[in-house]
Amino acid sequence: MTPTTPAEPTTLLSAEDKLTIVNQHIRNLDYSIYGAELDIMVENASQTPDADRLATLNAQLTALNAKRAVLVTEQQSIVE
Alpha helices by DSSP H, listed for 1-80, are: 15-45, 51-79
pLDDT score recorded for residue 10: 61
Average pLDDT over residues 7-26: 89
CA pseudo-torsion sign 34, 35, 40, 43: positive
Does pTM surpass 0.85? no
Three-state secondary-structure class, residue 8: coil
Q: Is residue 20 part of a domain?
A: yes
Q: Range of 67's domain?
A: 15-79
Q: Is residue 68 part of a domain?
A: yes
User: pLDDT band at 73, cuts 50/70/90?
Assistant: very high
Mean pLDDT of the chain, nearest integer: 93
Q: Is residue 1 part of a domain?
A: no
Q: Looking at the 3D structure of the chain, how many domains does it have?
A: 1
Q: Is residue 71 part of a domain?
A: yes
